[in-house]
Amino acid sequence: MYLSKSDVLSVLIAIAIFGGSVSAQQHTLSESFPKAFEQVIKADFSDEEFENFFSKYSNVIDADDGVAKALSGSERPDKSLYPLYDFKSSKLYQDNIDKLLVSANPNLRLLAVKLIGASGDISREDALLTKLAIEDKPGIVVWAGMSLMELKTNHTTELFDFLVKYEDFGDAHMIPFYFGLDRNSIQKTAYERIDSKNDKAKILAAQALSVTEPNAKTEQILKQAVDNWDVKIKGYAISSINELRIGNLLRILQPLVNVPETRGISLAALANSPTETDRKYVIGIAEEQQTISLDILNALFYSKNIENLKYWLRSLYSKKIPADYDIYINEQPLLESDELLPDLHRALQKVTDPKILAQLVEALRGRTDDESISIVVSLLTHADQSVRYFAASVAKDNPSGKLNEPSIKELIEKNLKN
């Protein structure tokens, strides 16, 4: 699984939405936490009681959107992002935190490493780094790493090695937090680790470079990876090349277009390349196909090259499209650009597949020009119910006066109800 910038953004957006929904509860729990903490460290709690405590206060002691809101940054997060920021200055915290870190009770050690992150206690970064090195309980090690990332530490190499050992790359939860650390530090670490003999280290190094500023060294390293790595992991290097929009790819990627494991991502990187020869290679494949393939459609659609989007829109009505092809307009913001509007209008007038048409009309949301309004109105009486519904959804909140005519408003309401 290739973790692209869009993947990272999706995770961060989901975390941020969740974080907002619990903020009020978080404030209440923060106020009651000191008393509960005092009871926990004095009482002989059972594992079950600790589990209940950790569950009740998870919104204040577990790493959340605080570290993930910023995609990048070398500065420490604002204190408002730490639920227990003020608690760390209390005598109760200061008198006990170091004792808890070395407690014989693993539940108390776990509590300590979580508290350091939740309180923004940057003075104990070294203590967390020590935990990464010597702690024998994997769960505590994981939370020590999470707290270091919550503190926006610059110890990216130690955390890189930690992620290689403890992260599940097939279901990555911690990597987005790592990518929120200082980008220059991440890049330096990636350079140091990309030649590792460990495949997971190679993969993480390549993916880490995708969130750093592109330069000649990064380009050279990633292209060498494509040339030299095992085909099973080449795709991760190609994915980063795609994200960074590195050019002059035909020599290294043309052979990989014919390899099933790397075909899709190679086509995507070629389509996204700023080099016209690379882009035209993908268009050339599309021109030869009677039914345009899903991998070509996806390479064109997700590209940041406006000419590819024009070709993609034209293909929706001029070529055969796979029956199972779905589009998600919100995944391509370029469709909202003024430059693409004439091509979008043409496609909406010529596309016959109702499933495609229903999604495509979403790209006209907020448009008030005469042509856009005319197309939306025409789709309100389309034979397909889903097309009528989405057209009505787009029309409902549109400020255009033409959509306030009684007959049009009646059609909008009718289609939304149905």
**Residue in the block written with tokens 């955390």:** 159
Phi, psi at 320, each rounded to 5°: -75, 135
Q: Which residues, given as ranges, of the chain have pLDDT below 70?
A: 1-27, 64-77
Contact residues for 35 (Cβ-Cβ < 8 A; gap 6+): none
What is the per-residue pLDDT for 411? 95
Return the structure tokens found at 34: 């000191």
What is the per-residue pLDDT for 337? 96
Report the C-alpha gap between 164 and 218 in whole angstroms: 21
Contact residues for 285 (Cβ-Cβ < 8 A; gap 6+): 257, 267, 296
Mean pLDDT computed over every residue of the chain: 91
Report the C-alpha gap between 142 and 124 in whole angstroms: 16
Per-residue model confidence as pLDDT tens digits over 59-78 = 899 876 555 554 445 466 67
Query: 3-30 burial by CB neighbour count: b if 16+ within 10 A, else e?
Result: bbbebbeebbeebeeebeeeeeebeebb
The three-state DSSP-derived secondary structure of 245-314 is CCCCCHHHHCHHHHCCCCHHHHHHHHHHCCCHHHHHHHHHHHHHCCECCHHHHHHHHCCCCHHHHHHHHH
Report the C-alpha gap between 178 and 154 in whole angstroms: 10
CA-based radius of gyration for the chain: 26
Report the C-alpha gap between 113 and 357 in whole angstroms: 52
Nearest to 359 by CA among 396, 381, 340, 384: 384
DSSP 417: H
Contact residues for 326 (Cβ-Cβ < 8 A; gap 6+): 355, 359
Return the structure tokens found at 385: 């119910």
What is the per-residue pLDDT for 112? 97
Q: What crossing angle do the helices spanning 138-150 and 125-134 adopt, rounded to 10°?
A: 150
**Can you say how many angstroms the Cα of residue 413 is from the centroid of all Cα atoms in its chain?**
36
What is the per-residue pLDDT for 63? 74
What is the per-residue pLDDT for 64? 63
